[in-house]
Structure 1
Amino acid sequence: MSIDARLQARPSQPDGPATPGLQKLDVGGARDSYFYVPPRYDPVVPAPLVLLLHGAGGHSRHGLDVLQHLADDNGLILIAPASTSHTWDVIANRAYGVDVTMVDQALKHVFAHYAVDPGRLAIGGFSDGASYALTLGLANGDLFTHVIAFSPGFIAPITPRGQPKVFISHGNRDEVLPIEPCSRKIVARLRRAEYEVMYDEFDGGHTIPGEVAQFAVNWFLGRI
Structure 2
Amino acid sequence: MSNREKEDEGRQDESWQSARSGRLRAHPATTPRTGGAPVGMHPLGVSLGHDGVIYVPSSYRPEHPAALAVMLHGAGGSARHGLDLLRPLADEANLILVAPGSQGATWDVIVEDFGPDVRAIDEALAHAFEHYAVDPARVAIGGFSDGASYALSLGLGNGDLFRHIIAFSPGFAVPPRQIGRPRIFMSHGTQDRVLPIDRCSRRLVRVFERAGYDVSYHEFEGPHVVPADMMREAVRWWLEGTVH
- Report the TM-score, using the length of structure 1 for normalisation: 0.97
> Greater CA radius of gyration, 1 or 2?
2
Report if aligned partners of 2:160, 2:179 keep a CA contact under 8 Å in 1.
yes
In structure 2, relative to structure 1, the CA distance for the partners of 1:31 and 1:103 (3 Å cut) is: closer
In structure 2, the residue matched to 1:202 is 220
Counterpart in the other structure of 1:4: 21
Q: Secondary structure at the match of 2:86?
A: helix
In structure 2, what is the Cα distance between the partners aligned to 1:86 and 1:103? 16
What's the offset of the Cα at 1:92?
1.5
Determine if contact 2:50/2:120 at 8 Å carries over to the other structure.
no
> For residue 104 of structure 2, what is the amino acid of its counterpart?
S
Q: Which whole-Å deviations, capped at 9, do the CAs of 1:44-91 have from their partners, x for residues lacking one?
A: 000001100000000110132342220011000000000000000001
- The corresponding residue for 2:80 is 61
Residue 91 of structure 2 corresponds to which residue in structure 1?
Answer: 72
- What whole-Å deviation, never above 9, does each CA across 1:167-205 have from its counterpart, x for those lacking one? 000000000000001001110000000000000000001
Q: Which residue of 2 aligns with 1:153?
A: 171
What are the superposed Cα offsets for residues 25-50 of structure 1, whole Å, 9 maximum, x if unpaired?
11224442000000010000000011
Counterpart residue identity of residue 33, structure 1 = G
Matched, 1:48 2:67: yes
Q: Is the 8 A contact 2:157 2:175 kept in 1?
A: no
Q: Does 1:144 align with 2:162?
A: yes
TM-score under structure 2 length normalisation: 0.89
Q: Is the 8 Å Cα contact of residues 18 and 43 (structure 1) preserved in structure 2?
A: no
Measured in 2, the distance between the counterparts of 1:157 and 1:141 equals: 11
State the SS of the aligned residue for 1:180: coil
The reply on whether 1:20 has 2:54 as its aligned counterpart is: no
Task: Name 1:167's counterpart in structure 2.
Answer: 185
Listed one character per residue, the Cα deviations across residues 103-151 of structure 1 (whole Å, up to 9, x for unaligned) are 0000000000100000111000000000000000000001001000000
**Structure 2 residue identity aligned to 1:92:** V
In 2, Cα distance between equivalents of 1:36 and 1:8: 22
Moved over 6 A (4+): none
The one-letter code sitting in structure 2 at the alignment partner of 1:72 is D
Task: Note closer, same or farther for the CA distance 1:106–1:31 as it changes in structure 2 (3 Å cut).
Answer: closer
Instruction: State the distance in 1 between where 2:158 and 2:141 align.
Output: 10
Matches within 5 A, 1:109-120: 109-120=127-138
Deviation at 1:158, TM superposition (A): 1.7
3-state secondary structure, aligned to 1:125: strand
Unmatched segments (≥5 aa) in structure 1: none
RMSD over aligned CA atoms reads 1.3
Aligned to 2:12: none
**Paired amino acid for 2:147:** G
Residue ranges of structure 2 left out of the alignment (5+ in a row) = 1-15
What is the identity, as a one-letter code, of the residue corresponding to 1:83?
S
Question: What is aligned with 2:146?
Answer: 128
Distance 1:35 1:190 in 2: 30
Number of equivalences: 223
